[in-house]
Amino acid sequence: MSRKMTKKDCSGCYCDFYNTGGVGGATRHCFYFNGAKLEKRKEVHVDQRPPWNQKAQLRPSCYQKPRFVYVGAD
């Protein structure tokens, strides 16, 4: 996408733990952040049946959330 990714885009990601201080407040960053790109994807819960009609969201390519999978916008 045309917009540059920031750490605010990582909000809610499982690995955002490392962007917000990590263990003991150490200043670290997510291992995936530098290689990630923003992509439009649908957030689908593992218990949700097709069709997936929700709108695609702009998320980092490495975004992870427990019990969710990310599928293409189409």
**pLDDT of 57:** 93
In a domain, 44, yes or no: yes
In a domain, 2, yes or no: no
CA atoms within 13 A on the CB side of 29: 9
Tally of structural domains, the chain: 1
Domain housing 28: 7-48+55-72
| pLDDT, tens only, 1-21 | 468 888 889 888 988 777 766
In a domain, 64, yes or no: yes
| pLDDT, tens only, 46-74 | 999 999 999 999 999 999 999 999 999 88
Let me know: does 22 contact 34? Beta carbons within 8 Å.
no
**pLDDT of 39:** 93
**By three-state DSSP, how is residue 45 classified?**
strand
In a domain, 1, yes or no: no
Full-model pTM: 0.77
In a domain, 35, yes or no: yes
| Partner residues linked to 50 by β-bridges | none
In a domain, 27, yes or no: yes
**pLDDT of 15:** 82
In a domain, 43, yes or no: yes
